[in-house]
Copies of this chain bind each other. A is one copy, B any other.
Amino acid sequence: MSDTPSPKFLGQNSPLPSSPEEAALDYVPNPREGSLYLVRFAAPEFTSLCPVTGQPDFAHLVIDYAPEKTIVESKSLKLFLGSFRNHCGFHEDVTVGIGQRLVEEMQPRWLRIGGYWYPRGGIPIDVFWQSGTPPEGLWVPDQGVQSYRGRG
């Protein structure tokens, strides 16, 4: 198997970046380059701020991607997602924006993000974006996040 890379954050203490702009994602060599496979991250600990009311919003995010040259190191992803803590944005904008930044920087074969937001006014919003039709031969299971049901 491949050599061990030296991640920038994993195994060290790293402060939370103060905004998405200041957060640096760490991309390490794909240990199985040339293989078509999928990596899925589930991030149930996400929060940002509403641009109209300033109130906190919460989401459960799931990110799927098929790596090309690099994979994203998961501690840097955690710090990047944490950097939205004081960021203002609409659900649609934040969710699609996270997916598009990863695509631009990592240049994966393919990427998909699902944002499952907590209800406001009794109505939750989910946002689903992908960089295109999944590549032929890639196995992409359902994200399987449970639908919102209210009470009862």
Contact = CB atoms under 8 A, between A and B. Distances in A.
B128 A141 contact: yes
A108 interface: no
A122 B31 CA distance: 23
A55 B82 CA distance: 8
A29 to B, nearest CB: 10
Q: How many copies does the complex hold?
A: 10
A142 B145 contact: no
Contacts of A116: 151-152
Contact of A124 (B11, B41, B120): B41
Interface of A: 1-2, 4, 7, 10-13, 15-16, 30-32, 35-45, 47, 51-56, 58-60, 62, 67, 71, 74-75, 77-78, 82, 85, 88-90, 92-93, 95-97, 100, 112, 114, 116-130, 132-133, 136-137, 139-152
21 contacts: A30-B92, A37-B129, A38-B127, A41-B124, A41-B125, A42-B149, A45-B58, A56-B85, A74-B120, A75-B120, A85-B85, A117-B151, A119-B150, A119-B151, A124-B151, A130-B139, A132-B137, A141-B142, A143-B147, A145-B151, A146-B152
